[in-house]
Amino acid sequence: MSKKLKILLIEPYFSGSHKVWSEGLNKHSRHDVHLLTMEGLYWQWRMRGSSVSLAQRFLKEDIAYDLILASDMLDLGNFLSLTRSKTAHVPVALYFHENQLTYPWSPREPKSCKATHVALINYTSAMSADFLFFNSGYNQNSFFTNLEKLLQTFADDNQVENIQLLKDKSSVLPLGIDIKKLENARQEKQLDCLRPLILWNHRWEHDKNPEGFFKALTILYDEGLEFSLALLGENFRDNPKEFIMAKETFGKRVLHYGYVENQDEYNRWLWESDLLPVTSIQDFFGISVAEAIYCETQPLLPNRLAYPELLKGVECEDLFYNSFKQFLTKLRGEISREDKRTLLPLSEHISSYCWSKMIVRYDSVFEKMSQ
């Protein structure tokens, strides 16, 4: 067995799936993974300014690392320039949880040159890294497709030829899922409520399209269909109007409203739920969807983004939709049906992403990087 490596994992946005992934690597890798992080707030400022703060903290450490693994939220080129006295000869990888070239801009923030600026940080960071990893093939493909479009908008010296250089050092490395924690929370459905229990377990943000989700449910509610709601997920807004209105509209049907701090309690809600209608306009992997599916919550997914890839190889075409009209029709049918689907094949498929299996791939990659 090769030597145990000292790996520095840099995460400027230590929240949500970024945090879960970082802690999973730290817990499961046979190597020593050290975390250098900042709180998951003010994402644009993290992309612009975290490299300086994290570089200063890094330079105070007295540890010689064998590898550096940074998240896409870091301005990697700037970080390396500020720390070259210690990092000049250390292999560096950049991990893309998302990419800013295809991330939908919030309607609360007028689109401007800011969008181009953060996309260019992803580009220059990729140029600065020795290795690039994407959490899905969808993420990888969308990054390169849109990078070429972006570079071609520049007046001269647009560097389109660099795209092939980046492709040559890139590969897909999916997220790991803590299946053991999900299993520890396994339970029979216990709540005395209107069935089915419909789950929302994503961030309360525009890219997850809560407007479409609640529009469909309101239509079905007005038709007289019976269901209950569990509205989970992180909220970074002071007044998420879609959720406030939903709480007023659905009243006592809402059995839970808001972020669940305790992981075991969160997992128990996944086991309790019956349906997961997903309306997202962007998702680069879909870990909240994957966790719910493992807990035998039936998904209804858009036939795009990372979702077809997530369930590739499983016979489940009828769980995908191509339009809002089709989404509404299928959701109506699932709420009304009396028999229960057998979701074991889906659950077994998701178990292939468990950390005990994925960490073998990660550690193998780390060892090749260090050679």
**Average pLDDT for residues 333-358, to the nearest whole number?**
90
165 and 264 in a single domain? The answer is no
Q: 141 and 186, same structural domain?
A: no
Once rounded to an integer, what is the mean pLDDT over residues 11-30?
96
Distance from C-alpha of 306 to C-alpha of 297, rounded to nearest angstrom: 18
**Distance, CA of 126 to CA of 120 (rounded, Å):** 10
Amino acid at 316: C
46 plus 74 within the same structural domain: yes
Domain shared by 299 and 233, yes or no: yes
Q: Structure pTM?
A: 0.94
Residues 130, 196, single domain; the answer is: no
CATH, residue 364: 3.40.50.2000
Please indicate, yes or no, whether residues 362 and 290 belong to a single structural domain of this protein.
no
Res. 112: pLDDT tops 60: no
**Do residue 194 and residue 343 come from a single domain?**
yes
**Residue predicted with more confidence, 71 or 261:** 71
Quick one: 188 and 312 in the same domain? yes
Per-residue confidence band for 247, with pLDDT thresholds at 50, 70 and 90: very high
Task: Look at residue 1 and tell me if it is in a domain.
Answer: no
pLDDT attached to residue 302 = 98
Please check whether residue 326 lies inside any domain of the structure. Answer: yes
Polymer length in residues for the chain = 371
Instruction: Look at the chain and report how many structural domains it folds into.
Output: 2
Nearest partner of 271 among 214, 347, 174, judged by Cα: 347
Span 214-225, pLDDT tens digits: 999 999 999 999
118 and 246 in a single domain? The answer is: no
- Residues 341, 346: Cα–Cα separation, whole Å: 11
Predicted confidence at residue 319, as pLDDT, reads 96
Same domain for 159 and 144: yes
Give the pLDDT of residue 236. Answer: 77
* Strand residues in the chain grouped as ranges (E): 6-14, 32-39, 67-71, 92-96, 131-134, 170-172, 197-200, 228-231, 254-257, 275-277, 298-302, 320-321
Instruction: Over range 11-17, report the average pLDDT.
Output: 95
Considering the domain architecture, whether residues 198 and 298 belong to the same structural domain is answered as yes
Q: Going edge to edge, which strands form the sheet with 131-134?
A: 32-39, 6-14, 67-71, 92-96, 131-134, 170-172
Residue 166 and residue 43 share a domain: yes
Question: Residue 210: pLDDT band by 50, 70, 90 thresholds?
Answer: very high
Identify the pLDDT of residue 234. 86
Range of the domain at 327: 179-352
Q: Give the mean model confidence (pLDDT) for residues 180-202.
A: 89
Cβ contacts of 55 within 8 Å, gap of 6 or more: 78, 79, 82, 83
Give 184's Cβ-side CA count (13 Å radius): 8
Per-residue pLDDT averaged across 245-268, rounded? 95
Is 28 a member of any domain?
Answer: yes
